[in-house]
Each structure stands twice: as C-alpha cells, then as structure tokens.
Amino acid sequence: MTINIALLGYGTVGKGVYRTIQQHQGRLQKLLSEEVKVVAILVRDIKKHTAPDQSVMLTNQYEKIQQLENIDVVIDAIVGIEPAATYLQSAIEKGRHVITANKEMFAEKSNILRELAKKYHVSVGYEATVAGGIPIIQTLKKLLNANKVTKVEGILNGTSNFILTKMREEQLSFDNALALAQKLGYAEADPTNDVEGFDAYYKAAILSELIYGEKPKSEQIERNGIASIAKSDITFFNELGLRYKHVATIEYAHSQVKCAVRPVLVESNHPLYQVEGVQNAIHIEADIVGSISLQGPGAGMYPTASAIIEDLIHLSEKDQEYTFHEESTLDQQRSAKTSWIAYGRSALQQLPEGAEIMKMIANDTWVVEIEGDLRIEDASLIQILGDATRLKEMKKIH
C-alpha cells in the first residue's frame, strides 16, 4: 500500500517536503506502515521547474491533479488566500486529507475547511502555519484534554525579532536593520506583513480558534508594528536590563478573546528575553500545568517541512474540538488595575484621572497604576503586565 501525495507549490517549503519524504522513507514506512510517495506537483510557471523524478507529474493546472484518482493527501505549500483555499476545498470534497503551511489562508478560511472536512470525514493538518518547527499545535491539543489555556504569548515572526536584535546588538537604526534582514533573505522586498504585525496576527488567530473555538473580534484586536521604535529607546531600556520583543498575545478574559501584537519590553527572567535573531518562541499559561515555553526555528525549508510531515503522521487521529467559554481562576485573580511605565518629561502630564505614581525607576521614567484596561495612542506610556515592582513584562502602545 502507498500513501499518495499531491504537493501544491515547489518553492523552498515544497522542495523541503519532497526531500524530507525521500530521505526519511524508511522511518515513515515504520510509522505509517505504508510507503509515502509524491505523485504530483503543482507549480505556477512550469518552465522554471523540473520534475524531481520521472514518476512525478509536474503541472501548472490544478484540474489535472483533481482528475487523478489515487491521491490520498494534498499538501499546500503556496502563499495567499486564493487559489489555495479553493484548491483545498475541492480536495476535501474528493475525500482527500489536506495539510497546509499557508497561515494567511488558514486564518481566514479555517472554519470553512474544518466544517467541510467534518462532512467528508477527512482531516486538516495545519501545524506548519504557526511558528514553523515549533510543535505548538500538537502541544496545545495534548494540553487541552484537561487544561484550560488562559494565555499565550509568543514571538511569532522571526523577521521582526531579527531586526530588534540587530538594533540592540549593533546599534543599527530600524531602516538599516531592515535592509540587513532583506540582504540576508529574512525580509521580503515589501516587509509590511512582518514588521507591522500582520504575519504574527494570522498565527495568533489560528491559535485562538484552536484554544477558544473562536477568533478575536475586530474591536478586541490591537496590532502595532516596530517601525516607530527608535534606536535611542532600545539603548535606554537596554541599560535598564530590558529588551524589546514584538510579541503576540491571546487570552480569554471577561467572556471574550483578546489579541494583541505589539512591541514589548521584557526583563531577563522572562521566557522571551533570550529569544534572539530569527528564532520564534511561545509561552503558554494553563490552569493545571502552569507555564510552558517552547523555542525553535519559525521558518525555513526543513523546520516547516518537519511540521508538515508531523501532520502527515497524525492525520489518522481524531481532531477534537476544544472550546472553553468560561473564566479561569487565573482570570479571577487578575487585578482590575494595570501597571504602566510613564516615559519622557511630558508623560506625567498625560496620565488619565485616577492614575497613581508608584515609583521612579530612572530619570523621567516612572511606574504608574491605572484603573481598568487602558488603550492609549501616546508612545510615552508603556504597559506592564504582572508585578510592576519586578518589571516582569512591559508593553508599549503606539
């Protein structure tokens, strides 16, 4: 018996998937008790590609793949919402399992694909859509059997993390650090998705739906990029022992899912402090197990291929639904007050009514407490979550 695969896309990820299947055939056969074979590859420009084997059909027409009767699994390694969503829907309707690495498409179309998969009794694998080589989806599925995950925060975009690292380590401006990231191939010619937080938000939305059964509503989303962070700010807070990170946070509190992607300052005892360069990391808080952190490569040929192949191995497992519309004891313990840092000579003049100054931590820099969940556009206020006296974590609102 053979598990026959159609591979959509033959760029970096697609080639990584093909090579991994070829190089790990013995192990896959032991795990699946069947040979695994790529029998068809879809490309956009057929003139730019060569079939890796004579037995593999190389085509730029998806209809030809749909007409094949022996396809068991369709792996999506292309980008963009369409035509990927249409391709996967038609594959599911043919009774084929699907696996995707397409985060933007899955963040938008996951409900449709999952419902369709349920109807046709097939599986949808999407481990590769979030944090590449970090097995966060499978980890959460195991945790969610008993635990309520109350909060997830992570560095989900390696490009923005690389830029912030280089700004601090080499005293580069944002523009110069971005140019370096582009030169090294970490950033696209148009880096908007990465540096403005769209990429991280797609991943956070996917995690939110897995954990809470829903994505955050538009009014519960904050998304701020890193382009406005000045080199002087990074230097100033680095001298206080704090590092900037671009962090995505999702949590279920007060009967709603909240999501934020924004610059964060972390102290040395925070699990994201040592995550540097293009690495990704995810920190999970759950009501039984407590805190768990995972770190690893967030993208690349083989880390992404690894996530896809792991999905292939788990396709036969039943995909449970996890939805916890209830407050956790951790939510109940959180104070109604939030702590912030007021930074800059004019900062104290901009504080809202009822704000209480707790202490000064540097020149023109104070810890303050504010009642309720404040959103503010001024860059001189930096929110702290957790114990303000320890400066455990701080978030900057632009």
By annotation, the residues acting in catalysis are 203
- Secondary structure (3-state) at 132: coil
3-state helix, strand and coil shares in percent for the chain, rounded to the nearest 5:
35, 25, 35
Q: How far lies 140's CA from each of 152, 280, 285, 304, in Å?
A: 10, 16, 11, 18
- AA identity, residue 295: Q
**What distance separates the 2 farthest-apart alpha carbons in the chain?**
73
CA distance 166 to 279: 13
Q: How far apart are CA 230 and CA 247, in angstroms?
A: 17
| Continuous segment of H or E residues that includes residue 320 | none
Residues sharing a CB contact under 8 Å with residue 294, sequence separation 6 or more, in sequence order? 131, 134, 135, 136, 139, 281, 282, 284
